[in-house]
Amino acid sequence: MSHASTWIRQLGCFAPLDAEDLKLLELAAGNARLYSTQDSLAKAGDSSDRMFVVLEGLACEYKMLPDGRRQILAYLFAGDMSDPRQLTLPYWDHSLSALWPSRILTLTTENVQRLESRSNILRAFNRYSLTKHAIAREWLVNVGNRTAMERVSHLLCEIHERMQSVGLSADNTFELPLTQSELADTLALSAVHVNRTLMELRRLKLVTFQNRHARIHDHQGLCGAAGFDHSYLRMAMLAGT
């Protein structure tokens, strides 16, 4: 199993890939680099001349306000990547950084063009990217309309489902090396309130956290608390609904 397997498995969820596609993807995944927690990949304003693929670990996209407030816009788990179309723009409007020690692949415009010359890969990229945007829409709904309890539950349901689809969740347990402060900047809550909400989830026997791992004890209960409907995550997948 190569270092790129999660990425390739994820792409395979969005379009069928043949042997030649797989070969090209494996090849492209050659020179991944290791990053540490908090290492910056790109800053808002930087030239947008490369895209990133998280092969292992965890990174995020975020925006900072001048006074230090931070909004996390997206998580990039193993198998996730930045938007390939961003390469057509002159600079980044948001920033990217690692949230945990990660193996991250950097692709140039030429690398990406070579991959996208394969119609299956192009199709997978596009459908993957559409899913990322569907997730962003749902985050806006989350932050805009849901209570703290619903927000945290909804995010956990989403992450669990994403992890499952790439085989990174077993026994309703998955690695989630996020601090409560990072969750706070994702969900637009204070870190203190995230803490209280997580403890409430524990008290309700819905989810527990140990050792940077989340364990869902009552999946149905959690989805209920979140008002979670997974259709936005599956829309672009081969299996359909």
Binding mask 169-188 for DNA (x = CB under 7 A): ----------xxx------x
3-state secondary structure of 21: helix
> Helices 19-28 and 5-14, interaxial angle, to 10°?
140
Q: Which residue's CB is nearer to DNA, number 15 or number 207?
A: 207
Q: Which residue's CB is nearer to its own copies, number 33 or number 69?
A: 69
Q: Which residue's CB is nearer to DNA, number 87 or number 188?
A: 188
Q: How deeply is 221 buried, as exposed, middle or buried, from its count of CB atoms within 10 A (0-12, 13-18, 19+)?
A: middle
Q: Is 236 in the site for its own copies (CB under 8 A)?
A: yes
Binding mask 180-209 for its own copies (x = CB under 8 A): --------x---------------------
Q: Is 148 in the site for DNA (CB under 7 A)?
A: yes
Q: Is 190 in the site for DNA (CB under 7 A)?
A: yes
Q: How far is the CB of 127 from DNA (least distance, A)?
A: 33
Q: Is 147 in the site for DNA (CB under 7 A)?
A: yes
3-state secondary structure of 116: helix
Region near DNA per CB under 7 A, out of 114-122, 147-155, 162-170, 227-235: 147-155
Region near its own copies per CB under 8 A, out of 23-31, 49-57, 135-143, 214-222: 135-143
Q: Which residue's CB is nearer to DNA, number 137 or number 212?
A: 212
Binds its own copies (CB under 8 A): choice among 19, 110, 144, 210 = 144
- The token pair at 95 is 């920033």
Q: Kindly report the backbone phi and psi dihedral angles of residue 94, in degrees, each rounded to the nearest multiple of 5, phi listed first.
A: -140, 175
Residues engaged in binding its own copies (CB under 8 A): 45, 63, 65-66, 69-71, 73, 83, 85-86, 88-91, 93-94, 123, 126-127, 129-130, 133-134, 136-141, 143-146, 188, 227, 231-232, 235-236, 240-241
Q: Which residues bind DNA (CB under 7 A)?
A: 147-149, 179-181, 188-193, 195-196, 198-199, 211-212
